[in-house]
Copies of this chain bind each other. A is one copy, B any other.
Amino acid sequence: MLVELVTTGSELLLGEITNYNSAYLSKKLNEIGYSVIYHTTVGDNPQRMEEALKVALSRVDLVITTGGLGPTQGDMTKIIGARLMGMPLVYDDAIAESVRQWVCIHHGGAAMTENQKRQAMVPQGAVLFDNGAGTAPGVAMQQGGKTLVHLPGPPTEMRWMYENRLKPWLLQTFGSQGCIASRYIKIYDLGEAFIEEQLMDLVQGQSNPTLAMYARPGFVEVRLTARADREDQARELLAPLEQEVRRRLAGQIVTFDDDTMAHVLGNIVRQGGYSVSAAESCTGGLVGSLITDVPGASDYFRGSAGTYCNEMKEKILGVSHDTLETYTAVSAQTAAEMADGSRRLYGTDLAVSTTGIAGPGGGTPDQPVGLVYTGISGPWGTVTHRDVYHGGRAEVKRRAALRAIYYLVHYVVNHTKKA
């Protein structure tokens, strides 16, 4: 099954937004063995869109478009697609009713506009997919051995519809085309060159499964991929290679697949029965936000005290006035007292703190922009770390918050290993 993804929208051609939909759909379709061989992006221009869809239908079996199903005049994908597939557009009462209900719930009982009614026009004879995350329905049309599918453009709607409607329909209509299984291992402690030395012989001379490595900001990603008829067979092919990689990286802090360092934190504090809290200055709340991105974090996380001024560091966290006067807020001493204070305030076993200069202003020769102190307080004492991060304000915050969680994991792993 050869597939082409056609993304529509002039904002993509103007470089205003990045095309995340094609990467998502490619990954998902490859997982069920469908080969995506082209991506095309075209703007909200009827002639060019028709041309692009014609080219796509001529060279693959299945064309999936995203975007252009909304209620505005610029939304023309469905109209052009239906014409190419020879299916007239007709008004669908059921779709109209579901659009009406959505408008009612989400826009407080307002009546449908003429534009919203356009969304209820659907190609006669097409398979319709209802939209659990918005109003525009999806459409699948089959004609002369070719299949044309229209999905909505907003990523949350597109993803909902793929997972809940299109994927089941594809599997039912065309069956699985074999399966690709992947496993991702992220390594945080070692450089790419060292990891390559450890794993080079596994990279070379492997065809199924394969192993590849990518340097990312703050970690190295190792990807294992296997192809087979069924997923369990592909997973079976992966298992021995994964075991060997794990053996060679034993003792390193790693994360698997989509898990983040916050997931690793969740696992190890659950194991140890520890409760966790935070205290944040320069990260503003991002450490708490990342920790609570993990479902069930409320089992061990009690909160993060954001103290964005000296007064609150004293009042809420009990950082001493002397420390702030003598060492300033951006110091190892303050980071340590913030972590201790968070542990006391929340009554937790472990606490992590951040204090630094996110920029762009506020830097000095001694305390440059990007300087961040991290404090860890726990049953094995209080430790601090000093880092200088590069990049803009948001990047400094992000890297400091991610690293803070890593340091907390490292603290626990390090001490429980020794015990």
Q: Which residues of A contact B (CB under 8 A)?
A: 7, 9-20, 22-30, 36-45, 48, 51-52, 55, 59, 70-74, 103, 106-107, 110, 113, 115-116, 132-133, 154, 156, 160, 182, 191-194, 196-197, 200, 203-204, 212-217, 223, 225, 278, 280, 282-293, 295-298, 301-309, 311-312, 316, 345-346, 358-361, 390-391, 393-395, 397
* Among B154, B309, B395, contact of A303 (Cβ-Cβ < 8 Å): B309
Query: Among B27, B43, B72, B306, which residue has its beta carbon within 8 angstroms of that of A16?
Result: B27
State the CA gap A70–B192 with chains docked (Å): 9
Q: Is the CB of B17 within 8 A of A12?
A: no
Is A308 within 8 A of B302, CB to CB? Answer: yes
> Nearest Cβ in chain B — how far from A113, in angstroms?
4
Q: A23–B21 Cα gap in the complex (Å)?
A: 13
Decide: A73 and B204 in contact? CB cutoff 8 A.
Answer: yes
A295 in contact with B359 given A12-B26, A15-B25, A17-B23 (CB within 8 Å): yes
Contact between B37 and A14 (Cβ–Cβ < 8 Å)? Answer: no
A156 touches which of B39, B285, B288, B390 (Cβ 8 Å): B390
In the bound complex, what is the Cα–Cα distance between A34 and B182 (angstroms)?
39
Interface pair A14/B42, CB less than 8 Å apart: no
Most buried by B among A74, A191, A217: A191
For A7, the chain B residues whose CB sits under 8 A away are 39
The minimal Cβ–Cβ distance linking A417 to chain B, given in whole angstroms, is: 21
14 A-B contact pairs sorted by A residue (CB < 8 Å): A10-B212, A15-B26, A16-B223, A70-B215, A72-B192, A115-B196, A284-B297, A285-B304, A295-B360, A295-B361, A302-B312, A304-B304, A304-B306, A304-B308
For the complex, what is the distance from the CA of A203 to the CA of B72, rounded to whole Å?
10
A286 CB contacts on chain B under 8 angstroms: 285-286, 288-289
Q: Are the CB atoms of A52 and B24 closer together than 8 Å?
A: no
CB distance from A79 to the nearest CB of B (A): 17
Residues of chain B within 8 A (CB-CB) of A156 are 217, 390-391, 395
Q: Are B16 and A39 in contact (CB under 8 A)?
A: no
> Least Cβ distance of A188 to chain B in Å?
13
CB neighbours (8 Å) of A40 from chain B are 38-41
Contact of A42 among B13, B37, B289, B312 (CB under 8 A): B37
Chain B minimum-CB-distance residue to A107: B191
Contact of A284 among B29, B51, B288 (CB under 8 A): B288
Q: Quote the shortest CB–CB distance from A265 to chain B (angstroms).
A: 13
**A73–B203 CB distance below 8 A:** yes
Given pairs A38-B42, A283-B292, 13 additional interface contacts (CB within 8 A): A13-B37, A13-B38, A14-B26, A15-B27, A19-B22, A70-B192, A110-B194, A115-B196, A156-B217, A286-B288, A293-B393, A296-B361, A303-B307
Give every chain B residue within 8 A of A43 (Cβ-Cβ): 37
Q: State how many angstroms separate the Cβ of A230 from the closest Cβ of chain B.
A: 19
Known: A11-B223, A391-B133. A41 touches B42 (CB 8 A): no
